[in-house]
Amino acid sequence: MFDYHVHTEFSADSKMPMEKACETALDMGLKEIAFTEHLDYFYPNSEFIWEFDYFQYAQKVESLRKQYEGQLTILKAVEVGMHPSTYEKSKKFTDDHDFDYIIGSVHIVEDLDLHNGDYFKGKNLNDSLETYFKIVHAYVKEYQDFNILGHLTLIKRYLHFVKSHWQQVKWENYFDIIEDILKSLIETGRGIEINLSGFRYRLDCTLPNLPFVKLYKELGGEIITIGTDAHSKHFVGKHLDTGYEILKEAGFEYITTFKKRKPIFHRIDSLF
Ligand SMILES: [Zn+2]
Ligand SMILES: [Zn+2]
């Protein structure tokens, strides 16, 4: 199995040594792990600097690749936080460095942070969701330098700011705009991920969950990865089975991995 979304000490919000992540990956029986460190050039009101030292990162990956040769494939990747004010700078960073694949994520909606609740001030549940998906659509159309859209339904983690819970939402109401997001990705050879951080946030669901993955499949989507979004060793490789179950239920026979930004498809049956 493959864990395609992991943050280590090279991300501002993780202290996990890369070695620890590799050890855990082997213990969990993984074949591949992708280190998708944060690059968020625009992050208002944050105590962290969401950038990383590529040179040191790459050196570390190279040394671990040697150490784990034949046992574990280690990918160089990055999670780019998309924002119109930093498209050019972010693209330059990913063009100038060597990555196996790139996740594009929306953490900041317009100029407001989802995570600290600023985004939700003065909005009700419907406004929050509608604006969120519209912005994701706009960013996905405007910024195309990534392979996989990160956690399509990230907003689920933060609905307590509007005194709600994802199970109370009629998600079908937003499927028109979600369809537009998925079509934009499919038409440009990009894909989505099944992000397992919902388990870390006690939501008991993946981001996105089955109805969204089914919709993606129906629209012709093929490129799809699964990642834990682990920030500590406790989550590396966890709940991946749930991700594979959802893939199969949605009708997928293949899962995607990447090398040098090119997708590779593996029959799911052959992995178990
Ligand atoms: Zn993210
Ligand atoms: Zn992440």
Which residues are bridge partners to 108 per DSSP?
113
pLDDT at position 46: 85
The pLDDT of 25-51, averaged and rounded, is: 95
Cα 112 from chain centre: 19
Q: 143: domain CATH number?
A: 3.20.20.140
Q: What is the 5 CA–ligand 1 centroid distance (Å)? A: 9
Q: What is the 226 CA–ligand 2 centroid distance (Å)? A: 12
Q: What is the 195 CA–ligand 1 centroid distance (Å)? A: 9
Confidence of residue 49 (pLDDT cuts 50, 70, 90): confident
pLDDT at position 140: 98
Give the ligand whose atoms come closest to the C-alpha of residue 106.
Answer: 1
Q: Are the C-beta atoms of 227 and 147 separated by less than 8 Å?
A: no
pLDDT at position 263: 98
State yes or no: pLDDT of 272 exceeds 90. no
Beta strands of the chain (E only): which ranges? 2-6, 32-39, 73-81, 101-105, 108-109, 112-113, 148-149, 191-195, 224-227, 254-259, 262-267
pLDDT above 90: percentage of residues in the chain: 96
Q: What is the 113 CA–ligand 1 centroid distance (Å)? A: 12
The pLDDT mean for the chain works out to 97
What digits encode the pLDDT tens for the residues 201-241? Answer: 999 999 999 999 999 999 999 999 999 999 999 999 999 99
Q: Beta 148-149 vs 101-105: how paired, if at all?
A: parallel
State yes or no: pLDDT of 173 exceeds 90. yes
The CA dihedral of 76, 81, 85, 91, to the nearest 10 degrees, is 20
What digits encode the pLDDT tens for the residues 179-210? Answer: 999 999 999 999 999 999 999 999 999 999 99
The pLDDT of 92-97, averaged and rounded, is: 98
Confidence of residue 45 (pLDDT cuts 50, 70, 90): confident
Give the ligand whose atoms come closest to the C-alpha of residue 7.
Answer: 2
State yes or no: pLDDT of 68 exceeds 90. yes
Q: What is the 23 CA–ligand 1 centroid distance (Å)? A: 23
Number of domains in the chain: 1
Q: What is the 102 CA–ligand 2 centroid distance (Å)? A: 11
Give the ligand whose atoms come closest to the C-alpha of residue 227.
Answer: 2
Q: Which two tokens stand for residue 57?
A: 């990162």
Q: What is the 35 CA–ligand 2 centroid distance (Å)? A: 10
* Ligand 2 ion: residues within 5 Å (CB): 79, 229
Q: Beta 191-195 vs 2-6: how paired, if at all?
A: unpaired
Q: Which two tokens stand for residue 270?
A: 């052959």
What digits encode the pLDDT tens for the residues 111-160? Answer: 999 999 999 999 999 999 999 999 999 999 999 999 999 999 999 999 99
Give the ligand whose atoms come closest to the C-alpha of residue 107.
Answer: 1
Domain range for 211: 2-271
Give the ligand whose atoms come closest to the C-alpha of residue 14.
Answer: 2
Q: What is the 225 CA–ligand 1 centroid distance (Å)? A: 14
Q: What is the 151 CA–ligand 2 centroid distance (Å)? A: 8
Q: What is the 175 CA–ligand 1 centroid distance (Å)? A: 22
What digits encode the pLDDT tens for the residues 253-263? Answer: 999 999 999 99
The pLDDT of 43-66, averaged and rounded, is: 94
| Helix/strand/coil percentages in the chain, nearest 5 | 40, 20, 40
- 62 contacts: CB under 8 Å, gap ≥ 6: none
17 preceded by a cis bond (ω within 30 of 0): no
Q: What is the 7 CA–ligand 2 centroid distance (Å)? A: 6
